[in-house]
Amino acid sequence: MRVGVLTGGGDSAGLNAAIRAVARCTFADGGTVVGIHNGWAGLTGAGDMRDLVPHDVSGILTLGGTILGSSRVNPLADPETMAAVRGNLARSGLDALVTIGGDDTLRVANALAAGGAPVVGVPKTMDNDLQVTEYCIGFDSAVAVVTEAVDRLHTTAASHHRVMVVEVMGRDTGWVALMGGIAGGADMIVIPEFPVAVDTIAEHLDRRRGRGREFSIIVVAEGADVAGLAPVDLSQAPRDSFGHVQLSRRGVGDRLGAQIEALTGFETRITVLGHTQRGGQPTAYDRIWATRVGAAAHDLVRAGRFGEIPVKRGDQVVPAMIADVVASARQVPAELYELARVFY
């Protein structure tokens, strides 16, 4: 069997563990693995792919990023590009394609599978916002970065009696902000699912000061809306092929920090973690579960169960439909958000 594998969208720690698992399992079956370079871009034009050998996936378990490269090319945005992808799949002689990605990448995979292409998915997104599954590659590693940053900022915030605003990734959902904030002991967490006004944040900081708390850590997801902040016009900002604006252009951390200082008098500093949340070595948890879902993707290929994706349910990996996984964003539930508020 000839199996292609690609990684699309933003990189996440654990991608190489999944590539390794797909490849090792395929090699064990006597099959051939074809690495497709740079996500869907590797299936456009003349195609960009090569056969992998066991040495290519040796020693990559602990590496961040992806040895195959990635991109945000969106074939669904252009019928001719989508036709090129289908044509390259047909000409390549692949018996199956394993697509490792988040909602954007998997929507393309779902469209191909709906048209009869032999496609299997693997759930990857540090935002942790895919439906059905309890695990997405890269989320645990991103939370670990946020947790360490908040831990480190506590001491400098306390020493200088400052408010520290920590901006983390999270376009539509606040999983990374919430979990990293809980683990790091943040004093307030602001996420897209539960909007809050800047006056409410200022009042919370004043109440803390009244209790003798002369410093605070606020974790804010980059996609959060905070009423009362100066608006930002992004109508002319460049967008990727999936229609997304680069969220660092919103500058929610900077705008929030400036307004907090103006309203409370607290000296305020802003830390934007940015791409540090994507980079570096994956945690043990990401290595283990990326290996498990990668191996399960191979099992789906071998069984001919195309249009499906392995997902985590409890301690098990079970199959689900890609269409169900990308149906909508999985948001932070109210009860988890309310738990975080107990510790403010």
The backbone region for 216, taken as left when phi is positive above 0, alpha when psi lies in -120 to 50, beta otherwise, is: beta
Q: By the 8 A CB rule, do 121 and 322 touch?
A: yes
Distance, CA of 240 to CA of 65 (rounded, Å): 20
Distance, CA of 315 to chain centre: 21
Residue carrying structure tokens 């983390």? 168
Q: By the 8 A CB rule, do 235 and 243 touch?
A: no
- Please name the amino acid found at residue 210: G
CA nearest neighbour of 108 among 20, 97, 249: 97
Q: By the 8 A CB rule, do 133 and 325 touch?
A: yes
- Can you read off the two tokens belonging to residue 281? 């070595």
| Residue 104: partners with Cβ closer than 8 Å, 6 or more residues away | 8, 9, 72, 74, 242
| Residue 146: partners with Cβ closer than 8 Å, 6 or more residues away | 166, 168, 176, 177, 179, 180, 181, 183, 184, 219, 273, 277
* Per annotation, catalytic residue among 11, 104, 127, 286: 127
**Known active-site residue 199:** no
The residues assigned a catalytic role are 127
